[in-house]
Structure formats: C-alpha cells, structure tokens
Chain A
Amino acid sequence: MNQFTVDAARSLPGPRWLAERRSAAAERFAAAEPPTTAAEEWRYSAIADLDLASYRLANGAATAGAPDRSGAGSDVIGIDGAPVTAVVDVVDGQVAAVDGIDRLSAAGAFVGPLAEAAGAEGLLGSVSDGASDYFTVLNDAFAPVPVVVDVPDGAILDGVIVVRHHAREAGAASFPRLVVRVGRAAQATVLDVQHSGGPALVVPVVELDVGPAGRLGYLNLQQHDPRAWQIAAHTARVERDASLVAASVALGGGYARTRADTRLVGRGASGDLLSVYFGAGDQILDFRTYQDHAAPDTTSNLLYKGAVGDSARSVYTGLIRVRPNARGTNAFQTNRNLKLSDDAWAESVPNLEIENNDVRCSHASAVGPVDADQVFYLESRGVPTPVAERLIVAGFFDEVIDALPVRSIEDGVRHALSVKLNQMLSHAA
C-alpha cells in the first residue's frame, strides 16, 4: 500500500503556504512515472530494486519532542578540536534539538526549523526547484520540517554548523531537507551528517545558495546503515565572486546515490567539488555531478576519489556544461577509482558539453587496482604486503581529505576509512 499520497502530504503540519506547496508536489509525484534504468541518468543505478510501497512514511511525531541527544550512533565521525557554532539534531525528518541559537542570533544568523525562519517562503525550493526530479518532488511533498541555515550579508561565522540527520525508524522512509543561504560577503561552514541504524529509505534534498562574494564550505558525511537506501540531491547556486567548497564523504548505505548539481550563475563564481567514497560488502555507491557554468570567468574543480572492495560497486557520471555566455570558464573534472578485489566493479563516465570557445576544460577518469609497483616498492623496504596496501589506499585519499572544508575532521575520516579497509582486508585474508 503506497503511503505517499496527496492526503498524507496535506496532513503534515506547517503554515498554509507550505501545506499548499506539499500538496502540489504530491500531485505532481502521483502523476509522475518512476524512473527506470532505461533512462540514461539511471542506467547504472539500482533503481529497479527499489520498492517504494514497501516503506511507510516515517512517523516523525513519535520522535519529535523526544530529543535523542546522541542523535546518531557513536560510530559517527566527530570533529574534535574544531569550534562548533551550532548543532541541530534531526530524527526521522523532525528537528529534535537545536543548540547554539544564542551564538547565532548575536551574528544575526538563524539555524533551525523552516517555519521559524524569517522569509521562509522564499527560501524553500529557491535553489532546488530548478533541478527537480522524481525524488526531489517526493521530498518537496513529504519533508516534515525543513532545516534552514541563514547567514545574513556580511556575517562571518568561524565555527562549524553541524546538522545531524538520523533515520531511526526501521523500515520507514524519511525526507531530510536542508536549506543553506549565505548572504553577500558572508561566510559559513556546514557539516551535514546522514546516519541510519537499520533498513530505511532516506531521500535528502540539500539547497546551497551562496550570495555575491560569499563563501560556503559544505561537507556531507554519509554513514548510513548498510541496509539503508539513500537517494540524495544536492543543488548549489553560486553567485558573483562567491566561492563554494562542497564535499562528500560517503561510507555507508546499501545503495547510496547522490546527485550534486553546482550552478555557477555569477561572474567569477567558483566551486571546489570533492568526494571520498569507499564501498565494501555489496554496497553500491552512485554519484552524478553537474558543473553548470552559466556566467563568464567561472571556475569549477571537481575531484572525486573512490575505492571499492569485496563485491561493492561504484558509479560516477559527471557532466561539465559551459553555456554560450560563459567565456573564460575553467572547468576540471577528475574521478579516480581503486578496485580492491576481483569482484568489485567501478564505472566512471565523464562528459563535456561546451558552447563557448574561450574556455579551459579537462576531464580525467581512471579505474584500476592498487599499483603493483607501488606495493613492491614498499615491500622491498620490509613493509608487509597488507600494510603496504593499506598505506597506499589511505594515501590515495589523502589529497581529498586534506582539502575537506571542515577542519579537524581529517583524522576522523582517515580513521573511519582505515577501519573499513581493515575489515575488508581481513575478510579477504
């Protein structure tokens, strides 16, 4: 029995404009055809295995008001040592707790539920509506409490704003929504944690809006349960002379897909787009990126590095588009994959679509095993083979980890990667 009905969307709490927006989305969703692998953008995905009707809508009301301060489990990577400005805990799509409001108000900034934000109606969908698809519409219809991070013009927030999404209800579908707006010449760093403790369907939508000369660092840390599914959409709009560093660390999920669109809409806008991903067991990690250069003198630099072991799979498909007016564009796209076992599989498909001649663009992709010559070099110095492989795989990720926009998280990410790698190597042995 499909629970994702117009009535169900309409019954969610919130102001009237939000209820109307949800109803309209639910109607569009009801009329839409589910995607299939026949469509190019779902070609390598596991979408054929998704049985949406088998999930019930997460009953957020049951968890609201019962803040689970740990939110996510203790395995979540921490940022010991870095200053934290605010922490928002979201359980099954409901805001369970917000800490740090006082510090933010002092700077004129807001972090919390959408309904409490000033000018809320103009915020929701302002970035993602330009990139709608089947699952963003589903999120539009069923996100119970969107979370807003709103940083006003000129405000510089030094600490990290942490938003922890935890899918707690087993067998449920939840729809986290995060909207980040950074005003003119403002600056912020956001850590968005996605976690689940069991089988679940999580459909997050993230909107990042970086105003003129603003600076935003955004790190998505995905540590879902291996039985959980994630189908995420991250959409960013970067305005004149603004810069975005958008990164993801993807470790969990049975099938975890992230579509990341970056639209450089103002002259001189730039985006550094980074990802580290590591699949083991029978995980499938699926990434689609879109670097859309829609203004002159814009720069995007994408570096996605992943590893797959056991019988895990990864898919990377990326498109750089340079629109006719985007002269002076610099656009780079690099995807490298390590295949750590015979049964693992990685696909890498880079694409360019260039409609202006005055551009510098390049793309590179690679899929291969750990370099045997590198292993031999270390072995010939007396480093045991499994240790040599571990060092080389860890080193492979280093250039991305060093560039992550949240400082002090590097050690945690390295540790999580090494734990996963050691588990995998011990299976293989």
Chain B
Amino acid sequence: MSTLVIEGLRASVAGREILTGVDLEVAAGEVHAVMGPNGSGKSTLAHVIAGRHGYDVSEGSVRLDGTELLTLPAWRRAEAGLFLAMQYPTEVPGVSLLDMLTESVCTAEGAAVAERMQEEAGRIGFDEKFLARPVNVDLSGGERKRNEALQLGVLKPAFAVVDELDSGLDVDALRFVGDRIEDATEHDGLGVLAITHSSRVFDHLRPDAVHVFAGGRIQESGGPELAEELEADGYERWMPASSKPDAGAAPFTDPFGDPFADLLT
C-alpha cells in the first residue's frame, strides 16, 4: 500500500521562503485535509510536490512508497503514482483530452483509454462531447473540475493532491467529483492530500485527519473535529506574528494562483 511521506520540506519563490519545514505522512486509502488561510502557502505545497517550475526547494524530501519525488521531473512523478488535481486547470489549446491521456505513461496502449474515458465521464456527469475537444478550453470552472476527476479515474494514481476541490463547483458537481474521489480511496486505496480553505468539501470527501497550515508549515493536526473548530473560530490562533495583517508584511501570493482568489472567498 502507498504512503506519501513529506519531511522537513522548505521551498522558496524569488528568494522568499514559503514552505518553512513541512512534515506530513499520508497512508493509502486515507484522506488528509490541509486547511489554511489564503496566502499561507498551501497551494505552493501542492505545486512543489507535483514538480511545477518556479520553486526553489532548499531542504527536505517527498517520498512516495520510498521513491524520492523531488529529484524527478513532473511526468516521472506522475509515473511513480502521483496526481495533481489543480485548483485552476490549465487550458491547452489544440490538444485533446484523448491525445493527452493516450500519451501519458500512466495509461496502457490502445483503445482502452477512450473506453475508460467514456466510463468515467458517465460516472461524474462530464459531457462526452468534451472528450475529443482541446483540454479545458471553453470549459466552465465546474466542468474543469469534473475533468480533473475524470482524469484521476482514468490514470488511477496511487496518490492524489487535490487543490481547492470546491472552487468553481456548484453543489451537484461537488457531489459527483467528491464522491468519485472518495470512492477511489475506498476501492482503489487512493491516498489523498486535500488542500482547502473551507470545510465545504468535507460533505463528500470525508477527511481522516485535518492539518492546520499557516506560516508555511503544519501548525496542528487532529481529527475531523478540528475542521469544525476552524470553521467556527478561523485561523487567527495559528497565524504567526509576522504574517498577521497588522504586522505590516503582505501575505504571500502564489504566482500561479488566481489573482482574484481573495475576492471570491
């Protein structure tokens, strides 16, 4: 069974340290929620694990079943069993979903990919007309998230980092997508690291553990009841002095995040 182990992870962007020592262990079949305020660096954690360009990792390790991911290019991490469900899935004009998944080293050769796509599309209510179209182009926020869940279903990773699953999703879509991922944890032993700023997602993707993320590291860990506490009291208690608004420093803005994220929350 798969285990994702993060130890002492430190990373910076443009000389500013965003991850200040992250330690976390998630076992197969488990859902761990990482909850934190905007600007706490939790999307950076997702990107660093997946191998996005633009981050400078200074210390630490991320191992999936003993394989060190940090030294691998992003596609080798996917090959090792990692999947990133993005907060804002990228539009890729001219590249169809079918071509992309067919070229993935995570899928077998042949026509099986198209069949798997249709099957998954049916499960999560993703319109089949999108399967032959360019990836994410002209898709609504909700359709893009369904698309991420569809790809997870086809690629069958051992471990998924799910970044802000509920952003852009209406109630129905959240139910389809959340249930699909939950199902993969139960039947395929998928391990999930769910990054979120609110507990809305937990209606369908029930966490086994909740971690409070602030100041670039995990401040406290607990069971699902910790999410309720956060919902009631907010993150104030865990904010490091240096990142509180009245301390003068602007909270970190992820360069790949949505510039309007603050307006949406």
Give A residues with C-beta under 8 Å from B. 372-374, 376-385, 387-388, 391-392, 394-399
Contact = CB atoms under 8 A, between A and B. Distances in A.
Contacts of A378: 75, 92, 95, 100, 103
Contacts of A377: 86, 89-90, 92, 135
B151 interface: yes
B100 A379 contact: no
A373 B135 contact: no
B52 interface: yes
B92 A383 contact: no
Given A380-B50, A394-B94, 4 more contacts: A377-B86, A379-B74, A391-B95, A391-B99
B143 interface: no
Nearest to B106: A382
16 contacts: A374-B90, A377-B92, A377-B135, A378-B75, A378-B95, A378-B100, A378-B103, A379-B51, A380-B52, A380-B78, A380-B86, A382-B104, A391-B95, A391-B99, A395-B93, A399-B93
Interface of B: 50-53, 73-75, 77-79, 83-84, 86, 89-95, 99-101, 103-107, 134-135, 151, 155, 256
Contacts of A373: 90, 256
A395 B93 CA distance: 6
A381 B101 contact: yes
A374 B90 CA distance: 6
A261 B125 CA distance: 50
Contacts of B78: 379-382
Q: Which of A379, A380, A387, A392 has the most CB of B within 10 A?
A: A380
Given A378-B95, A380-B78, A383-B75, A391 B51 contact: no
B94 A380 contact: no
A263 to B, nearest CB: 32
Contact of B94 (A382, A387, A388, A399): A399
B84 A380 contact: yes
Contacts of A382: 75, 78-79, 104-107, 155
A387 B86 CA distance: 21
Contacts of A385: 73, 75
B155 A376 contact: no
B93 A381 contact: no
B120 to A, nearest CB: 14
Contact of A376 (B52, B91, B104, B105): B52
A391 B135 CA distance: 12
Contacts of B100: 378, 381, 383, 391
A384 B94 contact: no
Nearest to A399: B94
B74 A392 contact: no
Contacts of B86: 377, 380
Contacts of A391: 92, 95, 99-100, 103
Given A380-B51, A381-B106, A398 B73 contact: no
Q: List 5 tightest A-B contacts by C-beta distance, closest first.
A: A395-B94, A382-B78, A382-B104, A379-B74, A382-B106
A391 B101 CA distance: 12
Contacts of A388: 75, 103
Nearest to B73: A385
B93 A396 contact: yes
A374 B73 contact: no
Contacts of B155: 381-382
A396 to B, nearest CB: 6
A403 to B, nearest CB: 13
Contacts of A398: 93-94, 134
Contacts of A399: 93-94
Contacts of B74: 376, 379-380
Contacts of B77: 380
Contacts of A381: 78, 83, 100-101, 104, 106, 151, 155
Contacts of B79: 382
Contacts of A395: 92-95, 134
A402 to B, nearest CB: 10
B90 to A, nearest CB: 4
Contacts of B52: 376, 380
A385 B74 CA distance: 9
B92 A376 contact: no
B94 A397 contact: yes
A379 B73 contact: yes
Nearest to A377: B90
Contacts of B256: 373
A394 B103 CA distance: 14
A391 B79 CA distance: 19
B75 A384 contact: yes
A379 B106 CA distance: 11
Contacts of A380: 50-52, 74-75, 77-78, 83-84, 86
A376 B53 contact: yes
A385 B90 CA distance: 16
A376 B90 contact: yes
A9 B101 CA distance: 60
A395 B137 CA distance: 12
A384 B90 CA distance: 17
Nearest to B154: A381
A396 B107 CA distance: 24
A372 B51 CA distance: 12
A397 B256 CA distance: 26
Q: Which of B83, B93, B151 has the most CB of A within 10 A?
A: B93
B91 to A, nearest CB: 8
Nearest to B134: A395
A382 B101 CA distance: 8
Nearest to A401: B94
B106 A396 contact: no
Nearest to A387: B103
Contacts of A374: 90-92, 95
A374 B89 CA distance: 10
B50 A384 contact: no
A380 B86 CA distance: 10
A76 to B, nearest CB: 25
A334 to B, nearest CB: 13
A388 B93 CA distance: 12
Nearest to B52: A376
A35 to B, nearest CB: 37
